Amino acid sequence: MRKWHRWLSVFFGIFMLWIAATGVLSQLAVLWPAGEPDPAAAMAATPPEGFVCPEGWRCSPPRADTGGIRSMVGLFHHLHSGESFGPIGTAISVMSGLALIFFAISGLWLYLQMWANRRKRKLKGGMFWK
């Protein structure tokens, strides 16, 4: 298990770093403070008198600043999911997600094996050692 854990981490580590970085950029772009909306654009987007948002729809006021980093949310999402690289990019993204699940399970498995061996040899220390 340790051999698989190490070799797969070398290959998928690069893709996981890419996915993590683009995910963080995507979230930062959403959280980036927006400027005040343009008054002319806000007036043009104002619904007519008596308009009621239909049930099940999400009616929202016009977005503030559409330029800058906030306009790149879609790009970051496509890079994050691998869609920008076609079906191969999407497949690598899915495989990286599956690899992350494998690493979590195999890492826990390896740790518990080391802990059990340490306990069997009656070495000092609890669940966590120095």
Show pLDDT as tens, one digit a residue, over the chain (130 residues): 778 777 788 788 888 888 888 888 888 887 777 666 667 766 776 777 888 888 888 776 655 556 677 778 888 888 888 888 999 988 998 998 899 899 889 888 888 888 888 878 876 666 665 5
* E-only strand ranges, the chain: none
User: What's the predicted TM-score (pTM) here?
Assistant: 0.56
Would you list the DSSP string of 22-77? HHHHHHHHHHSPP-PPPHHHHHHHSPPTT--PPTT----PPPS--SGGGGGHHHHH
